[in-house]
Structure 1
Amino acid sequence: MSSLKHTSIPKESFDDILSRYSATAPDKLQDLDTLRYETIPATLAERKKSGAAYLKKEEVEKLVEWKLKHGTFRPKLLQLVQSNPSSLIEDTTRKAFAIITPEQPLKALKVLTELKGIGPATASLLLSVCDPDEVPFFSDELFRWVMWDEEGGGGPSGWKRAIKYNNKEYGELVKRVKDGVERLQVSAVDCERVAWVLGKEGVDVVKSGEGVVNEDVEKASKGVKKLAKEERVVKGKRKGKEVAKEEKKGVKRKVEAMKPAVAEGVRRSSRRKMGS
């Protein structure tokens, strides 16, 4: 039996979990996911060919929005990022991307943290879109996954491990993700997505075996499906109520429109009776 720890997860299990990312990620994240995983990295690759990679202010804002909706929402963080001048963001990201290295991205990380609202975790996200194959994003799930065997990690509370979000922790994450990337021949960004799925499913990574979906995953999957079904039912009921409400309004309007005609018919009938 092989566990799903980052040091021993089989390639088949890694690929299977990765394939579940799209189904696990909320629909509201689809557009932002496309920007984060496809559009912006492709744009940066083209800028590299043209001379130098950099990020525009609106691109950084979208990446921060993605981060906030993917994890803990902190509205003031986005406001701080938006306070940076466009020229400063372009110059700073250009400088950081020029010195980034997969082996030691901390120098580039420190350059980016000079921007308002950009801490180590957000800075790592910007570096990751510049080099998604080698440089990992300092996400909660990825850090907790690679630190599973360390004190404070593992077991039922493994996905709730406290994180300090400092340069030292990011350096440890980089080293551990690099080992997994080389062993499995995968990208750092795919390690991030696998960790995200495992975290959202609440899997105890020690209990899972190769080719076997453990009880935790089954429960989590059933839970996700149940929530989706309940959401559809609620939406259906809400829609049904809205339709019934509109139909009721329509009947009421028809009744109101008929009242003058009915009243007129009654008055005419009364006059005929009085005249006979």
Structure 2
Amino acid sequence: MSINIDHIIKSSKEFYPEINKELSDQITKKYDGGTKTFDQLNAWKDVELPETLLERYEETDSTWITKKELINLIDLKLAKGTFRPMMPKLIKSNEDEVIEDTTKSGFQVMLDFFKTHKKESMDEFWADATDQDKNEYIDAIEKSMEILCELKGVGPASATLLLSLLVKISPYLTPPYFSDESYAFYVVTPYKDDDYKVKYTTKEYVNELLPVYFEIVAQHPKETMDSLEKGAWAMKNYLVKKDGKLANIDPIFEEDEMDKLSFDEQPVFEGRTAPPPKRKKQKKSK
């Protein structure tokens, strides 16, 4: 079955920035030491920080984020999602050097995967990806997440937020952010009860969310998972807040277009050859 994603791509390019701007106009708080609005902080995350990681990679063949960058990322994550009062305290309790060393190690797993799977035309990777390719990809993601979750306050969802920052280094192989809205759009609405409570586990991400992305990019290999996440985030955000914070936004789609991405059945990837590794429990993190 051919999958139409025109609405998702349009949402990523048009709806996503519009919604962030509208939300920013309603938020009086300034971030990054009082220097950035919500919209500016979001632009920093989407553009400036991935460029910084690319520059570090080109200069040193590795990359990392600093404590200040991690604090700003978590501030943005909490501003866009559910506020968790303990999370900023836990993040700030990490030592500067530990954050840089841990993120460098976590990122390196994905960077090694990028190198070993490099092709002349990387936008065609997913069109030809075998089960072995997908297994190795998932293995790399799980190992990266396991390392990143060693940081206090960083759980699986936050780990994927960090991994999504590699998008300038490898646009087509960078994993998508495990945002509430994208999971709701791609998994909960079409396949689960509306009152399903996401657990923010690696298993949900690997077994339920990633297979949807695999199906889409196999048919649309020139689209990045980063763009697909942003498009889903925007549409689900609008549907949740259209009678409140986003009442001034004019939808660019019919509502039934925004509700979900339809498959004949829930995508699954049955090519896993080993169970995911055990992880220590994370408290008050996602």
Partner of 1:118: 154
Aligned counterpart for 2:9 among listed residues 6, 15, 35: 15
Bigger Rg, which one: 1
Aligned counterpart for 1:183 among listed residues 216, 219, 233: 219
Matches of 2:91 and 2:232, distance apart in 1: 27
User: How far 1:15 sits from its partner (Å)?
Assistant: 2.6
Structure with a larger share of its residues in helix? 1
Checking the alignment, whether the CA contact within 8 Å between 2:2 and 2:219 is kept in structure 1 is no
Partner of 1:74: 84
The verdict on how the C-alpha distance between 1:215 and 1:37 changes in structure 2, with shifts beyond 3 A counting, is: closer
User: How far 1:88 sits from its partner (Å)?
Assistant: 0.2
Q: Gapped runs of 5+ residues in structure 1?
A: 1-6, 204-211, 219-276
> Structure 2 matches for 1:1-276, cutoff 5 A?
10-18=4-12, 19-25=14-20, 26-27=23-24, 28=27, 29-51=38-60, 52-100=62-110, 101=113, 103-104=137-138, 105-131=141-167, 133=171, 134-147=174-187, 148-152=189-193, 157=194, 161-172=196-207, 173-184=209-220, 185-202=222-239, 213-215=253-255
TM-score (norm 2): 0.64
Higher relative contact order (CA 8 A, sep 6+): 2
User: How far 1:174 sits from its partner (Å)?
Assistant: 2.3
Checking the alignment, whether the CA contact within 8 Å between 2:9 and 2:227 is kept in structure 1 is no
SS in 1 for 2:87: helix
The verdict on how the C-alpha distance between 1:8 and 1:37 changes in structure 2, with shifts beyond 3 A counting, is: farther
Matches of 2:80 and 2:2, distance apart in 1: 27
- The alignment's C-alpha RMSD in Å is 2.3
The verdict on how the C-alpha distance between 1:14 and 1:75 changes in structure 2, with shifts beyond 3 A counting, is: same
Q: Percent identity?
A: 30
Letter in 1 for 2:93: S
The verdict on how the C-alpha distance between 1:214 and 1:61 changes in structure 2, with shifts beyond 3 A counting, is: same
How many pairs does the alignment contain? 198
SS in 1 for 2:190: coil
Matches of 2:257 and 2:192, distance apart in 1: 24
Letter in 1 for 2:225: A
Q: Gapped runs of 5+ residues in structure 2?
A: 28-37, 115-136, 241-251, 259-286
User: How far 1:215 sits from its partner (Å)?
Assistant: 4.5
Matches of 1:63 and 1:199, distance apart in 2: 21
Letter in 2 for 1:82: K
SS in 1 for 2:192: coil
Matches of 1:201 and 1:166, distance apart in 2: 25
Matches of 2:254 and 2:202, distance apart in 1: 35
